[in-house]
Amino acid sequence: MRSYGRLPISFERGSGVWLWDSENNRYLDALCGIAVTGIGHSNPDVNNAIINQIKNLSHVSNLYRIGKQEQLAEKLCRMSNMQNVFFCNSGSEANEAAIKLMRLFGQQKGIKEPQILVMEKAWHGRSLATLTATGSVLAQKGFGPLLPGFCRVAFNDIDSVKDILDHNQDLVGVLVEPIQGEAGIQIPDKKYLIELRAICDDREILLGLDEVQSGMGRTGKWFAHQHHDITPDVMTLAKGLGNGFPIGACLATGLAADLFQPGSHGSTFGGNPVGCAAAAAVISFIEKENLLTRAGILGEKIIKSLTERLVGNPSVNQIRGSGLMIAVELKTKCSDLPRKALGEGILINVTGENTIRLLPPLILSNEEAEQIVAKVVSLIENHDNN
Ligand code: PLP
C-alpha cells in the first residue's frame, strides 16, 4: 500500500554507523531508522544473540514461562526502578497497553468513563487509541471517529494541567513524552516532569511516560526522565530496545504494577525469546561500551559544534537537544533536505516542515560526529543560497 512517501534509494547492507546502497555508495546514518539502531547496524553482539536464540527456540506462547523474557524484565526493572513489564512488538502496542492500564486503574476506582490527559503535538502511534492520543490533525485526518476518553493540553504548560484537573474528575492518568520527538525534539522546562509527578501523586492518578523514542540511552541516561530524578507509574519502550528487532515494552510500578491479571491483556508474539535475546544483548552492549556517558558527551559536542558553526546564520531559529536527540530548527521550510542529504552521503530527517532532526547512533566516533556537523552545516548553508 502506498502509506509512505519514499525516497528513491534502497540500502543493501549496514555496518555500525554506515549504510551502503545498491550501487555501493556509502552513507552516514544520522537517523538510525528513526531512533532504532542506536548501537549500530548489524551489531555483532545482537546478531549473535538472535542467531543463537533462533537455533535454540524462536517461539512459544505466553501461555508458558519464557526464561529470556523473565530475565529481560528483571533487567529492565532494575534499570528503571519499576516492578513489572508487559512485552509487545512496537511503540504503538506499548502505548496501547499503557492506555489500557490507565483505563483499568480508573474503572477500578469507580470512574465509568475514564479520561487520559495527552499533549498537543504528541506522538504515540498509529493504532486507533494511540492515534487519538497523538496530537497531529494530519495523522488523524480521515480516520474518524476517534476514540473517546482523551483530553489535551499544551505540552510544557503545567498551569493548563492544573486547570484541567480542577475541572475534570474523570482524569485517571497523564500520558506524555519526556521529550517530544516527532514534534521536533521539544524539551520541556527542567521542572515540568517533576511538577507533573507531584500533581499525579496529589490527585492519585497515573503518570505515564512514552520513552519509545527518548529511551534506551539516547539522551545519555537509560531513560530521559532519569535526568529529573522521578519515576513514572507507567513507561513505554520500543525503537532502540531491539536495535531493529521489533520489540516493545510497557513497564509499570506502584498502583499500576498489578492491574493486568491473567486474561486482561495479551500478545501472540510479544516477549518472544528472540526479541528478548536481542534486547538483552542491546542492554549488555550499552553497558559494556559505556554508551550512556558517551551519548551525553557526543550530544554536547555536536550541539556545541553546530552552534559555533551556525552562529549568525540567518536561516537558523534554534539548535537544541538532549544527548543524541538533536534538532536544528530553521526559519523556513526545509522538507527537501533529507533528499539533498542523500546526495551528500548522510541520512537525516525533517519534522514539522522546518526542523532538521538528528538521531545518530550512540557508537559514533568523534570524527563521525564532526562529519555529521560538517554535512548538516553545508546543507543549511546551501539551503540559504536557494
Ligand atoms: N511513541 C513515540 C514517542 C514515537 O516516537 C513513536 C514512533 O515514532 C511511537 C510511539 C510509535 O511507535 P511504533 O511506530 O513502533 O508503533
Q: Write the pLDDT tens digit of every residue in 120-160.
A: 999 999 999 999 999 999 999 999 999 999 999 999 999 99
Taking the C-alpha atoms of residue 80 and residue 87, their distance in angstroms, rounded to an integer, is 15
Measured from the CB, is residue 123 less than 6 Å from ligand 1? yes
Q: How far is CA 286 from CA 281, 282, 295, 363, in A?
A: 9, 6, 10, 9
Distance 174 CA to ligand 1 centre (A): 17
Please name the residue whose Cα sits nearest to atom 1 of ligand 1.
124
Model-wide pTM > 0.95: yes
Q: Give the rounded distance of the alpha carbon of 144 from its chain centre.
A: 25
DSSP classification of residue 181 = S
Q: Give the rounded distance of the alpha carbon of 352 from its chain centre.
A: 17
Position in ligand 1 atom list of the atom nearest CA 248: 15
CA nearest to 173, candidates 150, 192, 191, 139:
150
CA nearest to 236, candidates 312, 129, 361:
129
E strands present in the chain: 11-15, 18-21, 26-29, 84-88, 115-119, 150-153, 171-176, 206-210, 234-237, 248-252, 316-322, 325-330, 346-347, 349-351, 355-358
Q: What is the mean pLDDT of residues 343-361?
A: 97
The three three-digit cell numbers of residue 307, written as one number:
552552534
What pLDDT, on the 0 to 100 scale, is given for residue 6? 94
Count of CB atoms situated within 10 Å of the CB of 25 = 12
Tell me the best of 4, 89, 90, 92 to mutate to test the pocket of ligand 1, counting ligand atoms within 8 Å of each CB and taking the most: 92
Measured from the CB, is residue 46 less than 6 Å from ligand 1? no
Tens-place pLDDT, residues 11-43: 999 999 999 999 999 999 999 999 999 999 999
Tens-place pLDDT, residues 212-237: 999 999 999 999 999 999 999 999 99
What pLDDT, on the 0 to 100 scale, is given for residue 384? 59
CA nearest to 367, candidates 316, 305, 318:
305
Any bridge partners for residue 111, and if so which?
Answer: none
